[in-house]
């Protein structure tokens, strides 16, 4: 086995371990069980494989060590801070884990009769109610699987709204240039033309460009408020009036709600539809690609012929009848099912436990602490920086859940880029922020500390960023080589992203060539 461990952090694929006879011997069934199994029809023999599979045979300790080593190669909120902006990487409380992984939740089947899952339906119903209150909305569907999926549900509802009203020619969605990339993507997927409007130097939408974009073809507007710059849109009520004036709908991207939690509600700002990422704001774990949850909520607005916006919601919605709960499946006005079944249920239970464990006051406080953390970080960093870091757009305005720092001046002066800064942070054991997003900020470093991080962590980032600024002027080459203390050194991102050069399964391919694995079928 040692021959595979080239470097301290080099862990072979499980398929690269050599087969050495059975690693684990399963004893045959005892007579009693064998007799009882015999009473059932076993699969016919052609369903059995002819030879043993060529898989490595490892003992239990070898297997455990393999997976433990892999887990130690990764980094997450349990090992240190992850201040990725627009990601809300907050601590995932263990109490929520305990309940969402409870056997009584995990063992349920989505096809079970409503009568047999009353407890879970009650949890889902309560969660719908909490979300309606938090967002200032009138109806909620927990159906979408993630944020972008919630957005798609929302824009499909906008399309349906105009269809049902017989408004033809409404084919444009307005999106600010600071938007998360999923917004224009969702609008385009739903068949809309995306009209991008620029951000003014104060961080608000540029009013004249916005006014020029609004017209008869406007089907709706998609924005996140606070924006990805962490800034609250100060003219949101005027914006809502303009959009409603041309019978458009306002869509609220509520992926990162921390900044306004318990203080402001999209429904009160004039939004008609909103989604929330439970796997960001409400603490369920994310970062590995799922599972997530992107519930979508709406105001109770008339559509046409007696239909109202809640009738358009996707998927089943949990309704209460007397003391019983049941799933109300989508009717003909609905945008329908966007996936199988209700949602990623464990994530829903997780978010609900998180909400209950904090209560309304605790959620509000979580939001406040996240805003305090952002502004403490930004003010202190900028006041101590020797000019390499700046905070573009509305420089004097307080930020909400996150802040975008630019190191453009540092790059102009020393050649050191946002990527170099991010890589250098890794060498201190600190996870990098989001970089090069939003696209309107050059050399962007986007920090979101959430309420989870203590002052000491934020101070450590500030200290390290200032050291990096100094090193950039003194010894920039050193920074270009970073990181040197991680399991992987700097990856050539161009090669790594090019479809022709990247072979994500190179080891598997090698094993195929060597005949260890059979050919692909």
Ligand X SMILES: *Cc1c(COP(=O)(O)O)cnc(C)c1O
Does position 199 interact with ligand X (CB under 6 A)? The reply is: no
Bond before 291 cis per omega within 30 degrees: yes
Q: What is the three-class DSSP state of 298? A: strand
Does position 147 interact with ligand X (CB under 6 A)? The reply is: yes
Of 86, 204, 283, 471, the one binding ligand X by CB under 6 A: 86
Q: What is the three-class DSSP state of 339? A: coil
Q: Which is nearer to ligand X, 154 or 394 (CB)?
A: 154
Q: Map residues 294-313 to x or -, x wherever contact with ligand X holds by CB under 6 A.
A: x-------------------
Q: What is the three-class DSSP state of 405? A: strand
Residue 192 near residue 159, CB atoms below 8 Å:
yes
Does position 96 interact with ligand X (CB under 6 A)? The reply is: no
| Segment holding 468, helix H or strand E | helix 455-474
Q: Which is nearer to ligand X, 17 or 352 (CB)?
A: 352
What is the DSSP-derived secondary structure letter of residue 218?
E
Does position 182 interact with ligand X (CB under 6 A)? The reply is: yes
Bond before 226 cis per omega within 30 degrees: yes
Residues 3-22 that bind ligand X (CB under 6 A): none
CA R_g for the chain: 26
Does position 253 interact with ligand X (CB under 6 A)? The reply is: yes
CB of 521 to ligand X, least distance (A): 33
Of 224, 334, 370, 452, the one binding ligand X by CB under 6 A: 224
Does position 261 interact with ligand X (CB under 6 A)? The reply is: no
Does position 225 interact with ligand X (CB under 6 A)? The reply is: no
CB of 218 to ligand X, least distance (A): 21
Convert 329-352 to b/e letters by CB count within 10 Å (16 or more is b): ebeebbbbebeeebbbbbbbbbbb
Q: Which is nearer to ligand X, 83 or 147 (CB)?
A: 147
Does position 148 interact with ligand X (CB under 6 A)? The reply is: yes
Q: What is the total count of residues that contact ligand X (CB under 6 A)?
A: 13
CB of 472 to ligand X, least distance (A): 29
The long-range contacts involving 499-505, CB below 8 angstroms and separated by at least 24 positions, are none
Q: Which is nearer to ligand X, 43 or 289 (CB)?
A: 289
Segment interacting with ligand X, rule: CB under 6 A, options 53-61, 251-259, 449-457, 501-509: 251-259
Does position 272 interact with ligand X (CB under 6 A)? The reply is: no
Strands of the sheet with 172-176, listed across from one edge: 139-141, 296-298, 273-276, 249-254, 218-223, 172-176, 193-197
CB of 294 to ligand X, least distance (A): 6
CB of 495 to ligand X, least distance (A): 26
Does position 146 interact with ligand X (CB under 6 A)? The reply is: yes
Tokens describing residue 79: 């090992």
Convert 151-190 to b/e letters by CB count within 10 Å (16 or more is b): bbbbbbbbbbbbeeeeeeebebbbbbebbbebbbbbbeeb
CB of 258 to ligand X, least distance (A): 11
CB of 152 to ligand X, least distance (A): 9
- Rounded CA-CA distance 308/398 in Å is 38
Does position 355 interact with ligand X (CB under 6 A)? The reply is: no
What is the DSSP-derived secondary structure letter of residue 199?
B
Nearest CA among 292, 299, 300 for reference residue 276: 292
Tokens describing residue 386: 């020797």
Q: Which is nearer to ligand X, 149 or 411 (CB)?
A: 149
- Rounded CA-CA distance 182/253 in Å is 10
Does position 255 interact with ligand X (CB under 6 A)? The reply is: yes
Find where tokens 């609905």 sit.
334
Does position 180 interact with ligand X (CB under 6 A)? The reply is: yes
CB of 278 to ligand X, least distance (A): 9
Find where tokens 């802040």 sit.
403
CB of 348 to ligand X, least distance (A): 14
Q: Which is nearer to ligand X, 294 or 314 (CB)?
A: 294
Of 218, 256, 258, 374, the one binding ligand X by CB under 6 A: 256
Residue nearest to ligand X (CB): 147
CB of 354 to ligand X, least distance (A): 17
Residue 405 near residue 378, CB atoms below 8 Å:
yes
Residue 423 near residue 432, CB atoms below 8 Å:
yes
- Rounded CA-CA distance 319/118 in Å is 11
Beta-strand ranges (E) seen in 385-426 are 403-406
Q: Map residues 276-295 to x or -, x wherever contact with ligand X holds by CB under 6 A.
A: -x--------------x-x-
CB of 227 to ligand X, least distance (A): 9
User: Which residues of this chain interact with ligand X, rule CB under 6 A?
Assistant: 86, 146-148, 180, 182, 224, 253, 255-256, 277, 292, 294
């Amino acid at each position: 086995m040692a021959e595979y461990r080239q470097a301290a952090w080099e862990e072979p694929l499980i398929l690269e371990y050599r087969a050495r006879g059975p690693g684990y011997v399963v004893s045959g069934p005892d007579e009693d069980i064998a007799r009882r199994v015999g009473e059932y029809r076993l699969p016919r023999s052609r369903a059995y494989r002819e030879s043993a599979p060529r898989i490595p045979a490892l003992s239990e300790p070898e297997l455990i060590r393999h997976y433990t080593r892999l887990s130690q190669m990764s980094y997450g909120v349990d090992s240190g801070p992850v201040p990725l902006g627009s990601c809300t990487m907050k601590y995932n409380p263990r109490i929520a884990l305990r309940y969402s992984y409870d056997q009584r939740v995990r063992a349920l089947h989505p096809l079970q009769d409503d009568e047999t899952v009353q407890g879970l339906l009650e949890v889902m119903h309560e969660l719908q109610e909490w979300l309606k209150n938090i967002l200032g909305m009138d109806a909620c569907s927990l159906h979408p699987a993630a944020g972008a999926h919630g957005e798609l549900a929302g824009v499909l509802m906008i399309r349906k709204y105009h269809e049902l009203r017989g408004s033809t020619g409404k084919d444009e969605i307005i999106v600010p240039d600071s938007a998360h990339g999923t917004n224009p993507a969702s609008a385009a997927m739903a068949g809309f033309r995306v009209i991008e409007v620029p951000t003014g130097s104060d961080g608000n939408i540029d009013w004249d460009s916005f006014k020029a974009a609004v017209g008869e073809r406007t089907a709706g507007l998609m924005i996140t408020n606070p924006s990805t710059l962490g800034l609250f849109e100060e003219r949101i009520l005027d914006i809502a009036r303009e959009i409603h004036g041309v019978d458009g709908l306002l869509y609220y991207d509520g992926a990162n709600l921390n900044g306004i939690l318990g203080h402001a509600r999209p429904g009160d700002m004039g939004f008609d539809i909103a989604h929330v990422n439970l796997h960001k704001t409400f603490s369920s774990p994310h970062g590995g690609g799922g599972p997530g949850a992107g519930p979508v909520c709406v105001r109770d607005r008339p559509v046409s012929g007696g239909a109202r916006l809640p009738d358009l919601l996707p998927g089943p919605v949990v309704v209460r009848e007397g003391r019983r709960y049941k799933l109300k499946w989508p009717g003909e006005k609905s945008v329908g099912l966007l996936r199988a079944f209700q949602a990623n249920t464990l994530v829903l239970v997780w978010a609900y436990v998180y909400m209950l464990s904090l209560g309304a006051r605790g959620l509000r406080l979580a939001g406040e602490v996240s805003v305090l953390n952002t502004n403490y970080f930004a003010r202190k960093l900028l006041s101590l920086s020797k000019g390499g870091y700046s905070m573009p757009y509305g420089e004097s305005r307080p930020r909400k859940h996150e802040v975008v720092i630019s190191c453009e001046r540092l790059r102009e002066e020393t050649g050191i880029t946002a990527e170099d800064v991010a890589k250098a942070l890794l060498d201190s054991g600190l996870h990098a922020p989001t970089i090069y997003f939003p696209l309107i900020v050059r050399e962007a470093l986007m920090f979101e500390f959430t309420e989870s991080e203590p002052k000491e962590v934020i101070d450590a980032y500030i200290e390290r960023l200032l050291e990096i600024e100094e090193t950039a002027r003194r010894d920039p080459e050193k920074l270009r080589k970073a990181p040197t203390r991680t399991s992987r050194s700097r990856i050539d991102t161009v090669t790594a992203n090019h479809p022709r050069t990247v072979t994500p399964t190179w080891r598997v391919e090698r094993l195929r060539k060597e005949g260890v694995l059979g050919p692909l079928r």
